[in-house]
Structure 1
Amino acid sequence: MEKLLENYKFVPKAIGEITGKIQIEKNRFENLLKDLTSIKRIKKSILDFDFQKAQIGELLEIILAGALNNRVSDIHFETEEKNIRLRYRIDGLLNDVASDLPKEVYGYLLSRIKLLSGLKLNIQDKPQDGRFSINLEKKSIELRISLIPSEYGETIVMRILDPDIIKITLLQLGLRKDDLAIIEEQLKSPNGMILNTGPTGSGKTTTLYSFLLHKRNPELKIITIEDPIEYHLEDIEQTQTDPEAGYTFAGGLKSIMRQDPDIILIGEIRDEETAEIAIQASLTGHSVFSTVHANSAVGAIPRLLDLKVKPGSIGPALNLIIAQRLVRRLCENCRISKKILPELKTKIEKFLGSLPKRINKNEFSEIKIFEKKGCVQCAGLGYKGRIAIFELLEINDAMEPLINADVTEVTIKQEAKKQGMVTMQEDGILKTISGLTTFEEIENVTGPIRW
Structure 2
Amino acid sequence: DAVDFGTLQASVGQEGAPVVRLLQSVFEDATRAGASDVHIEPQEGELLIRNRVDGLLQTLTQADKRIAPALAQRLKLMAGLDISEKRLPQDGRFTLRLSDRTLDVRLSTMPSQYGESVVMRLLGQGSALRRLEQIGMPDDMLKRFRELLGRDAGMILVTGPTGSGKTSTLYAALAELDSEKLKIITAEDPIEYRLPGLTQVQVNEKIELSFAKVLRAALRQDPDVILVGEMRDAETAEIGLRAAITGHLLLSTLHTKDTVSTPFRLLDMGAPPFMVATSLQAVLAQRLLRGVCKHCAEPHLATPQEQAWVNEVQALNGEAAGPVPSVKGRGCAECHGTGYQGRRGIYEMLELDPDMALAIQKSDAGAFLSAARRALKGKTLA
Structures share fold, TM-score greater than 0.5: yes
Q: Which residue of 2 aligns with 1:298?
A: 260
**Judging changes above 3 Å, is the alpha-carbon distance between structure 1 residues 194 and 389 closer, same or farther for their aligned structure 2 residues?**
same
| 2:335 maps to 1:378 | yes
| 2:150 maps to 1:193 | no
SS state at 2:281 partner: strand
Q: Is contact 1:142–1:160 with CA below 8 Å preserved after alignment?
A: yes
SS state at 2:36 partner: strand
The Cα offsets for residues 321-377 of structure 1, whole Å up to 9 and x where unpaired, read as 111122111112212211136786576355324327xxxx79x99721222212233
| 2:45 maps to 1:78 | no
**Judging changes above 3 Å, is the alpha-carbon distance between structure 1 residues 424 and 373 closer, same or farther for their aligned structure 2 residues?**
farther
Q: Is contact 1:196–1:292 with CA below 8 Å preserved after alignment?
A: yes
Q: Is contact 2:316–2:378 with CA below 8 Å preserved after alignment?
A: no
1:225-304 paired onto structure 2 within 5 Å: 225-304=187-266
Distance in structure 2 (CA, Å) of the matches to 1:249 and 1:149? 28
Q: Which residue of 1 aligns with 2:141?
A: 179
Q: Which residue of 1 aligns with 2:117?
A: 155
Q: Which residue of 1 aligns with 2:362?
A: 405
The Cα offsets for residues 296-323 of structure 1, whole Å up to 9 and x where unpaired, read as 1110111122233332222331111111
**Judging changes above 3 Å, is the alpha-carbon distance between structure 1 residues 109 and 234 closer, same or farther for their aligned structure 2 residues?**
farther
The residue type paired with residue 377 of structure 1 is E
Q: Which residue of 1 aligns with 2:370?
A: 414
SS state at 2:118 partner: strand
Deviation of 1:106 (Å): 2.7
SS state at 2:179 partner: coil
The residue type paired with residue 159 of structure 1 is R
Match of 2:83 among 103, 118, 121: 121
Q: Which residue of 2 aligns with 1:87?
A: 50
Which segment is superposed worse, 152-161 or 224-233? 224-233
Q: Is contact 2:230–2:254 with CA below 8 Å preserved after alignment?
A: yes
SS state at 1:110 partner: helix
Q: Quick one: percent identity of the two aligned structures?
A: 36
Q: Which residue of 1 aligns with 2:324?
A: 367
The residue type paired with residue 352 of structure 2 is I
C-alpha RMSD of the superposition: 2.9
Q: Is contact 1:393–1:421 with CA below 8 Å preserved after alignment?
A: no
1:37-76 paired onto structure 2 within 5 Å: 55-76=18-39
Q: Is contact 2:97–2:103 with CA below 8 Å preserved after alignment?
A: yes
Q: Which residue of 2 aligns with 1:20?
A: 3
Distance in structure 1 (CA, Å) of the matches to 2:189 and 2:133? 27
Which segment is superposed worse, 156-165 or 169-178? 156-165
Match of 2:313 among 341, 351, 360: 351
Deviation of 1:173 (Å): 1.1
Distance in structure 1 (CA, Å) of the matches to 2:55 and 2:190? 20
Which segment is superposed worse, 236-245 or 247-256? 236-245
Q: Which residue of 2 aligns with 1:389?
A: 346
Q: Is contact 2:42–2:68 with CA below 8 Å preserved after alignment?
A: no
Distance in structure 2 (CA, Å) of the matches to 1:342 and 1:148? 45
The residue type paired with residue 308 of structure 1 is G
Q: Is contact 2:69–2:116 with CA below 8 Å preserved after alignment?
A: no
| 2:281 maps to 1:325 | no
**Judging changes above 3 Å, is the alpha-carbon distance between structure 1 residues 97 and 344 closer, same or farther for their aligned structure 2 residues?**
closer
Distance in structure 2 (CA, Å) of the matches to 1:321 and 1:166? 26
The residue type paired with residue 36 of structure 2 is S
| 2:105 maps to 1:143 | yes
Count of residue pairs brought into register by the alignment: 376
1:210-225 paired onto structure 2 within 5 Å: 210-225=172-187
Distance in structure 1 (CA, Å) of the matches to 2:287 and 2:81? 34
Q: Which residue of 2 aligns with 1:434?
A: none
Q: Is contact 1:338–1:369 with CA below 8 Å preserved after alignment?
A: yes
SS state at 2:226 partner: strand
The residue type paired with residue 405 of structure 1 is K
Distance in structure 2 (CA, Å) of the matches to 1:79 and 1:229? 30
What TM-score do you get using the length of structure 1 for normalisation?
0.75
Distance in structure 2 (CA, Å) of the matches to 1:240 and 1:56? 31
The residue type paired with residue 375 of structure 1 is C
The residue type paired with residue 370 of structure 2 is Q
- Give 5+ residue unaligned stretches, structure 1: 1-10, 12-18, 25-50, 426-445, 447-451
Deviation of 1:424 (Å): 3.9
Q: Is contact 2:126–2:193 with CA below 8 Å preserved after alignment?
A: no
SS state at 1:415 partner: helix
The Cα offsets for residues 148-198 of structure 1, whole Å up to 9 and x where unpaired, read as 222222221111102466601101111111211121111111211101122
Match of 2:171 among 198, 209, 227: 209
Q: Which residue of 1 aligns with 2:269?
A: 307
The residue type paired with residue 371 of structure 2 is E
Q: Is contact 2:179–2:198 with CA below 8 Å preserved after alignment?
A: no
**Judging changes above 3 Å, is the alpha-carbon distance between structure 1 residues 337 and 149 closer, same or farther for their aligned structure 2 residues?**
same
Q: Is contact 2:160–2:255 with CA below 8 Å preserved after alignment?
A: yes
The residue type paired with residue 415 of structure 1 is A
Q: Which residue of 1 aligns with 2:10?
A: none
The residue type paired with residue 199 of structure 1 is P
Distance in structure 1 (CA, Å) of the matches to 2:166 and 2:220? 27
The Cα offsets for residues 373-421 of structure 1, whole Å up to 9 and x where unpaired, read as 122332322111111221100012332222223222x542332232345
Q: Which residue of 1 aligns with 2:11?
A: none
